[in-house]
Structure 1
Amino acid sequence: MKTFLNALLVILIMVPATLMAQTTVTGTVTDKANAMPLPGVNVIIKGTSRGTSTDFDGNFSLEVSQGETLVISYLGYTPQEILFSGQATIDVALVEDAAQLDEVVLIGYGATTKQDATGAVEKVGDEDFNRGAIVAPQQLIAGKAAGVRVTTGGGAAGEGGEIRIRGGASIGTEFGATNDPLIVIDGLPIDQRGGAQGSRNALNAINPADIEDFVVLKDASATAIYGSRASNGVILITTKKGSANQPLKLEYGIQASTRRITNTVDNLSAAQYRQVAEADGVDPSEFGNANTNWQDEIYTTGIGAIHNITASKGYENFSFRVNYNHVSQEGPLLGDLYERNGFNTSFVHRFLDNDLKITAIARGIQDEYQYAEDGAIGAAVRFDPTQPIRNPDGSFYQYGTTANLAPANPLFTLAETEDRQTIQRFIGNFNIDYNFWFLRDLKLSVNGGIDYAENSGFRFAPANPNNAGAFNFNGQSQGLNRNTSLDFLLNYKTFVESINTNIDITAGHAFQEFYIRTDIDEVSGPNTTIDTDINRNALLSYFARASFDIADRYLISASFRRDGSSRFSEDNRFGNFPGVSVGWKLMNESWMQDSFFSNLKLRAGWGVTGQQEIGQNYGFQGIYTPSRNDQANIQFGTTINGEPIFIRTLRPEGFDENIKWEETTQYNVALDYGFFNNRLSGTIDFYYRETEDLLATVPVPSGSNLRDLITTNVGEITSRGLELTVNGVIFQKENFGWDTNFNVTFQEQEVTRLSLNNDPNAFFLVGGISGGVGNNIQILRPGFDPTTFFVFRQVYDNEGNPIEGSYVDVNGDNQITEADRQPYKKATPDAFIGWTNNLRYKNFDLNFTFRGSFGNYVYNNNASDTGNLNAITNQPGYLANGHASVLDTGFTNQNLFSDLYIERADFVRLDNISLGYTIPFEKMTLRTSLTATNLFVITEYSGLDPEIGNGIQNNFYPRTRDVVLGLNFTF
């Protein structure tokens, strides 16, 4: 009996031990196509964290229990699952998954795949976006794409950003045509000059959380099908929609943020100010008893919150997505506030066995701005730091009426100014896709869209208390913007077996009209301005494209667009814009089958694009502008009661009846590559671009036209660049992953001709600065970049200190004149980079993006204007603060045009970093995140910020550092 009990006990112990016994399994993983071993393949026990990866020879070894399932996965290959039933060896041959190369990307009026794209096309998807409390959609892609530079305009609430693709093809100054790209939202091209009056950012109508992806079309072969508006590139924005057969999905997200400026202008402290002013002869009794840092006083910590509520569901033939978005964002300048309420809806319905698809997208948005008076920024920089904010009686301290030109107390200005704007905007698209029953390869698409905005606002600005002759300003404004668009196109796709070729042909017609109305009613003392301004322009277009994929190796694509614009006379109204591109899929050649490349494609393109965004609609014909206020009216008799009758005058405007398109010709050569089954991939892109008939507003000889300035075609500009992109999957494990993207762009731009009479020495001065009326610091001149500075070369003593007023006599005539000013440095960078990393560990995720810029310079106008004793002690009737550079230079007077103030502004910025944690529940997923933006900047620039769009720093609204806490619930 005892023996039996002992035996039973052994059995009871051995049975579970046997069931749980593990066997060491070995195996090899290879590529099925070429039998080559695959290193780094993940071999994981399904449902556990146990696993290993293959070595360099594709071998692995793992302990497995009976009945467990092995999951073998590798980036770019289709995963396999194998049930373990006691086998000692498991050899696996993985099949390449072409899904990566087959990823669909939009192109103009159509779509293609990555492997079939022949133009410079780059897609940035939702998973790649920058994170945080992002209000302006363009900030989602900052640093994400080679050749694309996004520069924010500052830290104001609701502030947008400047997008430049390959530097822009036009002059792009305040006198030239725009360098902004064309932006197309779900098929609707928006107005390149704005979209809604009174808005800080035309794209604020689009909820960033509602965007699926951006597709950037960079070269002319890709953009030529958009013709007259595509010289500066095209950005296609696709918003999120519901999916077929999708269960009801509810999402709620909140992002709470704080915003604080990171830097202020380097002014004299109160102690430094007293010392400098007293040493320059100021009686100490003129100083106040306070120590006020006016810049600290006008800025605060801004609070913000973004709410998103989304519902989506898909049936077999119908799907929908509805989103409500609320934004409240305070700027750091006291009183600065932006609020947005928006409904975003999309509906997709399929009929007739999916032959007919109807898509409707509608967005209703209300933007409300409470603008803080940014003139207070300049006043805070200049205000006497020894004076208190308020007088003993509680009123704001002011200089007094003996100082007519003195700035008002900046806190008084912020407290008393009221400036509000409300914008109600509707953006809608209606799309019909129909596959003909009698020819299955032929599809008709009709796309209609409208972007309609109404704005109303008022502004009250108090009179400067220091100026007895100043008046309060009261103004009201209303506006209407209407952009309507209608496209028809036919698309035919087929495979011709006899020539082993896929054919894709598209032809269509488009019409778009822009209507803008502005009503102004302003009163300032005796001056009353009542004005209505109406502008409209239209585009009529025909376009076509044919693409051929021959034997899955050779790609040919050609497009053509003919645009007619009402902005030009009948003789110059229509422009023709062709584009051609070719590609060679080297990887599909038989002699490349055993190579170590996983992707290799050579492509090249050429195209012609246009530019017509000149800010005026009737520049080819003589027009008259009515006077806008009482001061420009004349008396014309009297009434019965003897009251004078005033009539408005008409002023003739200058015009050029021969004005025509800018025309840009661009060449592009590129190589797309991939290694290790695309774990390492990227692109090398080179472009060369020539723009002719530059559009700009320039001076003309007196008497030659009705005005001194006219908008006309003035010259030529060339640019070239090299773009490098590297994507890498560094680790790909079940519980840990790390992928990275690095892109760098080298660019160069040069004005090659600029004149109305072929004068090779012609130039125009641009880039207005503070410190005098009509002063400019930049030059447009053949042989130089459009943002080149125009300065005197500073002379230094033996100790390296600048000698005031002493400059290099360049022409040797023994006197310093305008002839000695020289082009020197430029604001555009020689190169800029973006580096993004995405890491995950179990349920944690971390991503961060660095941006950098090199070879760019900034003109420190704060230092040149006020970094001298006269700016401090020689103001009419008051004392003002000055830039701290006066402590180093000791300058007495302004030296506005010295190259001393042109500073190198290279920088590397940690633009965005986000840490998240996802908690999966049975019926809900919760994700928490902590994000910081603009965390730090590494730079030698001494001024406020090295990233200034036009390269001139003066009254700049400082950027902020944002810290964001996010919670996202998905049901």
Structure 2
Amino acid sequence: MRITITDYAPKTIGLFIVFLCCLAGSVLGQGHLVKGKVKSADGEGIPGASIIVRGTQNGTTTDVNGDFQLKAPAKGVLIVSFVGFVSQAVNIEGKAILEVTLLEDAVELQEVVAVGYGTQKKKEVTGAVVQVDNETLNKSSTSDLGTALQGQIAGVSVQSSSGAPGSEANIQIRGVNSITGQNQPLYVVDGIPYNGDPKLSISEIASIDVLKDAASASIYGTRGSGGVILITTKQGKAGTMQVSLDGYYGVQNITSGVPRMNFEQYMYAFFLNSRTMNGTNMGSAYTPLETNPYQFYNDTDVSTVVEQNLAPIQNYSLNVRGGTKDLSYSVNANYFGQKGMIINSDYNRLNIRANTGFTKNKWTIRTSIGLRDEDRSNAAYGLLTQAYSYKPYMQAVDPSKDVLSNGGGPGSSDIFNLGTIIRSLQQKNNDKGGQYNGNLQIEYQLSKDLKLMTRVGGSNTFGNQVIISPLLQTYDDLGVLQTSASRSSVYNSSSRATSFIWENTLNYTKNFGEHHINAFAGFTMESYTRTSFFAQKYDLVDNSITVLNGATLDPNVGSGTGYNQNMVNKLMGTLGRLQYNFKGKYLFSVSARRDGSSRFSDEYRWGIFPSFSAGWNVSDEAFFKPLLGKIDVLRIRATHGTTGNQNFLDYSNAATISLGKDYVFGRNGSDNLVLGYTQTSFANANVKWETSVQTNLGIDMAFFNNKFTFTADLYNTNKRDMLFPLLVPPSTGGGNNSTVILNVGDMNNKGVELAAGYRQSGAFSWSTNATFTKNINKIVKMSGNNKTNYLTGGSVDGVDRVTVIQEGLVAGAFMVMPTDGVVKTEAQLEAYRNLVPTAQMGDLIYLDKKTIDTDGDGVPDKGDGILNDDDRVFAGSGTPKFEIGYNVNASYKNFDVSMQWYSAYGGKVINGSRIAAYQNGTAKDLLYQNTPDNPNSDIPTNRGSKYLNYRGWSDYWIEDGSFIRLRNVSLGYTLPKALANKIKTKSLRVYLAAQNPLTITKYTGFDPEVGGDGLQSRGIDRGNYPMSSQYRVGFELNF
């Protein structure tokens, strides 16, 4: 067939031209090469960012430096996005090189919170979970994480145990959780549980999530009753290496105390007391100046030696992080140093942590290694109260001397007080220790929906303590050597605790249309061992020889003691959780954990701790749409869960024995003590778990385009089978003062938690938030006949215990002798002598509690005529009735300011410092005591420390411990970007800050915040180390 070109040429050429035009258009559309860089607001490249040509599937991702290149239509639009940032649409017409800056999505960043064994979108959380970020924590200058959390979270009560350097605060989540067991929360660092505070530096921490309700904490079973604090440390991220360096330096001051008399005031009070006790006959009054006239020239205030104002505090942190698409790293180092405000106290700590992450195909491997080194010097116990015993006429104190002469007569209390204060000032109490820990986590994606994880972790914590109480020689005015205040001694102790944990979990996540399921099951094994040893010998030969053998070996002069202890406990558990939601609106979760603990006998070893929770995102409903913009979030939550507590002494279910010379053999006067084993504790094989059952109702709301947020929670917790050590008679075989652990009763906590916040962005940005916490605690039942149990650590002056566990009262209640003013009239004196025959004018009036019903109306109207413990009455407790936290932050251009306020209301404090000053006659108040010349005074007459007037068991010493405190205030300035670049930095911020600069309170002691060392001493100020006010200057530098 022959084809003639003439016939088809016009059509063929036309079609060919059309094809070439289309091809050219296509080539031109795909051939426009665009290069660019995607970076964050701080100028750093964002690796892995997605760049897609809008309306197509053509796209790419940025490299490790945030750079990309892509062919796109000349008039195309690129969609640039990355997780945690606001996506951007970029028009590329006429552009060949782009620079795209993505801004962080604040809402997106806050959507995910940590929960036990995983994470969850905040929108889908049904429990009471609160997150605190590193920026908030960094506003405090402290070595303690708990102190930084004070007032930040509703339902989390934080009270200072001491202002001593390196001290830890007492943290309680939703009230008292145990009367003698574990009250502190469980700490979990990067998935690894810790026994006690892990003592991380704040610079290591990225965020903290607190599980407050039992349903959230029940996944940790036996250790979740005190709540759970989940700590996520800083991790590396892909991109160029980032280096940050920050630090501060400041000084500290003691801001208050019980006023003391000077020399003139003391001598006036001395003569006043002498006249009161001896009438008008002053000849029998002994004055220290009569035998030692040179003391007339003294005016000693020993507090100037004991207290050290302008004590320095400093903190420096270095963080380096970065990585590639597959591998990331973060290394953090921190040094914290604090000189104490009381002599011989300081604290130095070094923390180092290195985290790595590796992801390749289906594998993810994470490692973490942490090191901590501590060196702490402790002031002698009771040094502040000892200072009240040192009279202003006595000689100036020189802590460097160990041969002393005070001029007092033989047996004079002045010699005793001199020896006591000098020994305390010279005492060396050094505690060195640390920890190294690590964990390895391996994840393997078995399928798209199924992931297997195994994690192993462990820690080794060690400590060594040396206490030297020096040899002193104290002479009286005749040059005769007097007995020391207490014997010299050297004390050495060492301890080592190791932990090991192995966890395995299987996680399943699946979407079925609008149904979402997340399930996991796991198995965990934990082992803890502790070895401790101490030895003490008395009567040093030479203060320069501070080893144990430096004490005398003469058995007629001194003796020694020693102790060695090995403790082991193990925990095994299986756990699981199922979470379901429909359309993200209807939320359900159920979990259970079965734990077995070696601390219990076989019969009670295992326990099951289930939980259930549900939530409803009402604001996602169609009927709610008209309200959006005014009410943006409305979520209702409900939970019910069970947790346990097994944190008490090991081997409480078994009798322990000890080796010693406790057996007598022989006859006819030849009896000898011989070596043998004796029982040292009474066993209770029936001891079992403490169990907490809690119900929680909550609501979350956001208003006005999420500017205003509000959260409220109501809860009710029933605690049953509380563990408590009860004294048993020696006939049981446990010896004197032996105790046995028993499940003795039930307790209830119920409360309300409120949190609200507001934020406003713009040229002037500001935000504020407030928290309100109220918990009502009550001992519901105490088993046995004794409904009142005095706690051994609840003593005020070393004699009178005042803290009790009593049915019907708050745990740790104060039970004290009631008083009714001072005897001021003869009629009062006559009536009072029926109860106290030796009473005199000016005495404190104790009330005889009415226990006898004389008229048969069922109401007691008369006392029994005897002053004893039966007359004690409830007088509050050291636990506040409610707490409020308030924070405000603002920034304008390069300036920023922030304030943190905290207040506690309704707690009582027993002012033990005031008791000591009264008993020793050095309190300035005693200038105005009740005397014949001042008969209307309400201050009882000073008749000596042993007289009833100044006993520590009365309500006379109880004060209102409510306070409002400005915890932190800071003013900062950030250098402009251009100026920061000139000095080769990415950013530089400098600031001035103050911590605790203002406290408003009626309390007359050192500090109204008296957390003590637990429930038994909360609210008892025994000359506790006070909190300081701090003033510092700092910087934050990024490269």
Secondary structure (helix, strand or coil) at the match of 2:1006 reads: coil
Matching of residue 896 in structure 1 with residue 905 in structure 2: no
Q: Measure how far apart 1:386 and its partner are.
A: 1.8
Matching of residue 502 in structure 1 with residue 523 in structure 2: no
Which residue does the alignment assign to 2:7?
none
Which residue does the alignment assign to 1:71?
none
Which residue does the alignment assign to 1:551?
583
Q: Measure how far apart 1:802 and its partner are.
A: 8.4
Which residue does the alignment assign to 2:22?
none
Q: Measure how far apart 1:788 and its partner are.
A: 1.6
Secondary structure (helix, strand or coil) at the match of 2:996 reads: strand
Matching of residue 537 in structure 1 with residue 569 in structure 2: yes
Which residue does the alignment assign to 1:8?
none
Which residue does the alignment assign to 2:11?
none
Identity of aligned residues (%): 27
Contact 1:401 1:468 survives alignment (8 Å): no
Q: Measure how far apart 1:413 and its partner are.
A: 2.9
After superposition, the CA RMSD in angstroms is 2.9
Contact 1:486 1:512 survives alignment (8 Å): yes
Mapping for residues 672-821 of structure 1, pairs under 5 Å: 672-700=700-728, 703=731, 706=734, 708-729=738-759, 731-733=760-762, 735-755=763-783, 757=784, 759=785, 762-766=787-791, 768=793, 774-796=799-821, 804-811=844-851, 812-817=862-867, 818-821=869-872
Contact 2:578 2:589 survives alignment (8 Å): yes
The residue type paired with residue 905 of structure 1 is G
Q: Measure how far apart 1:77 and its partner are.
A: 12
Q: Do the aligned partners of residues 898 and 522 (structure 1) sit closer, same or farther apart at CA in structure 2, a change above 3 Å counting?
A: closer
Q: Which runs of 5+ in 1 are unaligned?
A: 1-46, 48-75, 86-94, 193-201, 638-643, 873-879
Mapping for residues 108-257 of structure 1, pairs under 5 Å: 108-171=116-179, 176-192=180-196, 202-204=197-199, 206-244=200-238, 246-257=239-250
Deviations 1:887-936 (A, max 9, x none): 35133332433222221111110011111111131241111111111111
Higher CA-based Rg: 2
Matching of residue 323 in structure 1 with residue 385 in structure 2: no
Which residue does the alignment assign to 2:478?
none
Matching of residue 261 in structure 1 with residue 291 in structure 2: no
Q: 2:386 aligns with which of 372, 379, 387?
A: 379
Which residue does the alignment assign to 1:574?
606
CA distance in 2, matches of 1:900, 1:367: 41
Matching of residue 297 in structure 1 with residue 305 in structure 2: yes
Q: 1:413 aligns with which of 417, 423, 446?
A: 423
Secondary structure (helix, strand or coil) at the match of 2:603 reads: coil
Contact 1:625 1:651 survives alignment (8 Å): yes
Which residue does the alignment assign to 2:479?
none
Matching of residue 862 in structure 1 with residue 913 in structure 2: yes
Secondary structure (helix, strand or coil) at the match of 1:153 reads: coil
Deviations 1:792-838 (A, max 9, x none): 22113699998513315422135143322111222211110100111
The residue type paired with residue 570 of structure 1 is D
Matching of residue 309 in structure 1 with residue 301 in structure 2: no
The residue type paired with residue 348 of structure 2 is E
Q: Measure how far apart 1:516 and its partner are.
A: 0.5
Deviations 1:196-221 (A, max 9, x none): xxxxxx443x1111111111100011
- Deviates most, 934-943 or 604-613: 934-943
Q: Measure how far apart 1:592 and its partner are.
A: 0.6
Q: Do the aligned partners of residues 634 and 401 (structure 1) sit closer, same or farther apart at CA in structure 2, a change above 3 Å counting?
A: farther
Q: Do the aligned partners of residues 673 and 392 (structure 1) sit closer, same or farther apart at CA in structure 2, a change above 3 Å counting?
A: closer
CA distance in 2, matches of 1:601, 1:844: 36
CA distance in 2, matches of 1:223, 1:77: 31
Which residue does the alignment assign to 1:43?
none
Deviations 1:696-727 (A, max 9, x none): 11234664563552111110000100000001
The residue type paired with residue 904 of structure 1 is D
Secondary structure (helix, strand or coil) at the match of 1:264 reads: coil
Matching of residue 948 in structure 1 with residue 1010 in structure 2: yes
Secondary structure (helix, strand or coil) at the match of 2:123 reads: helix
Contact 1:258 1:303 survives alignment (8 Å): yes
Matching of residue 828 in structure 1 with residue 879 in structure 2: yes
Q: Measure how far apart 1:369 and its partner are.
A: 1.4
Q: Measure how far apart 1:775 and its partner are.
A: 2.1
Q: 2:267 aligns with which of 260, 274, 283?
A: 274
Contact 1:376 1:410 survives alignment (8 Å): no
Q: Which runs of 5+ in 2 are unaligned?
A: 1-42, 44-83, 94-102, 275-284, 475-481, 540-557, 667-671, 826-840, 852-861, 930-937, 1012-1017
Contact 1:335 1:414 survives alignment (8 Å): no
CA distance in 1, matches of 2:528, 2:135: 35
CA distance in 1, matches of 2:751, 2:437: 36
Q: Do the aligned partners of residues 804 and 428 (structure 1) sit closer, same or farther apart at CA in structure 2, a change above 3 Å counting?
A: same
Q: Measure how far apart 1:618 and its partner are.
A: 0.3
Which residue does the alignment assign to 1:652?
680
Q: Measure how far apart 1:230 and its partner are.
A: 0.8
Which residue does the alignment assign to 1:488?
504
Contact 1:362 1:429 survives alignment (8 Å): yes
Deviations 1:719-757 (A, max 9, x none): 10000000111x311x311101100011100000012x3
CA distance in 1, matches of 2:699, 2:824: 52
Q: Measure how far apart 1:96 and its partner are.
A: 14
Deviations 1:840-878 (A, max 9, x none): 11111111100001111111223345525xx44xxxxxx
Deviations 1:14-39 (A, max 9, x none): xxxxxxxxxxxxxxxxxxxxxxxxxx
The residue type paired with residue 504 of structure 1 is N
Q: Do the aligned partners of residues 742 and 77 (structure 1) sit closer, same or farther apart at CA in structure 2, a change above 3 Å counting?
A: farther
CA distance in 1, matches of 2:133, 2:110: 15
The residue type paired with residue 743 of structure 2 is N
CA distance in 2, matches of 1:767, 1:634: 30
Contact 2:337 2:348 survives alignment (8 Å): yes
Q: Measure how far apart 1:414 and its partner are.
A: 4.9
Secondary structure (helix, strand or coil) at the match of 1:384 reads: coil
Secondary structure (helix, strand or coil) at the match of 1:916 reads: strand
Secondary structure (helix, strand or coil) at the match of 2:602 reads: coil
CA distance in 1, matches of 2:384, 2:322: 49
CA distance in 2, matches of 1:593, 1:392: 75
Q: Do the aligned partners of residues 886 and 562 (structure 1) sit closer, same or farther apart at CA in structure 2, a change above 3 Å counting?
A: farther
CA distance in 2, matches of 1:797, 1:704: 47
Which residue does the alignment assign to 2:490?
474
Q: Do the aligned partners of residues 586 and 259 (structure 1) sit closer, same or farther apart at CA in structure 2, a change above 3 Å counting?
A: same
Q: Do the aligned partners of residues 788 and 815 (structure 1) sit closer, same or farther apart at CA in structure 2, a change above 3 Å counting?
A: same
CA distance in 2, matches of 1:839, 1:559: 42
Q: Measure how far apart 1:276 and its partner are.
A: 1.5
Q: Measure how far apart 1:372 and its partner are.
A: 2.6
Contact 1:626 1:651 survives alignment (8 Å): no
Contact 2:926 2:939 survives alignment (8 Å): no
Q: Do the aligned partners of residues 220 and 283 (structure 1) sit closer, same or farther apart at CA in structure 2, a change above 3 Å counting?
A: same
Q: Do the aligned partners of residues 97 and 558 (structure 1) sit closer, same or farther apart at CA in structure 2, a change above 3 Å counting?
A: same
The residue type paired with residue 488 of structure 1 is N
Matching of residue 911 in structure 1 with residue 951 in structure 2: no
CA distance in 2, matches of 1:619, 1:462: 38
- Deviates most, 555-564 or 462-471: 462-471
Which residue does the alignment assign to 1:336?
345
The residue type paired with residue 188 of structure 1 is I
Q: 1:285 aligns with which of 260, 283, 288?
A: 288
TM-score, reference length from structure 1: 0.82
Which residue does the alignment assign to 1:959?
1027
Matching of residue 350 in structure 1 with residue 344 in structure 2: no
Question: How many residues in Structure 1 have an aligned counterpart in Structure 2?
Answer: 841
The residue type paired with residue 385 of structure 1 is P
Q: Do the aligned partners of residues 633 and 456 (structure 1) sit closer, same or farther apart at CA in structure 2, a change above 3 Å counting?
A: farther
Q: Measure how far apart 1:454 and its partner are.
A: 2.2
CA distance in 2, matches of 1:261, 1:645: 54
The residue type paired with residue 260 of structure 1 is N
Secondary structure (helix, strand or coil) at the match of 2:220 reads: helix
Q: Do the aligned partners of residues 969 and 503 (structure 1) sit closer, same or farther apart at CA in structure 2, a change above 3 Å counting?
A: same
Contact 1:248 1:313 survives alignment (8 Å): yes
Which residue does the alignment assign to 2:636?
602
Which residue does the alignment assign to 2:366?
359
CA distance in 2, matches of 1:220, 1:131: 30
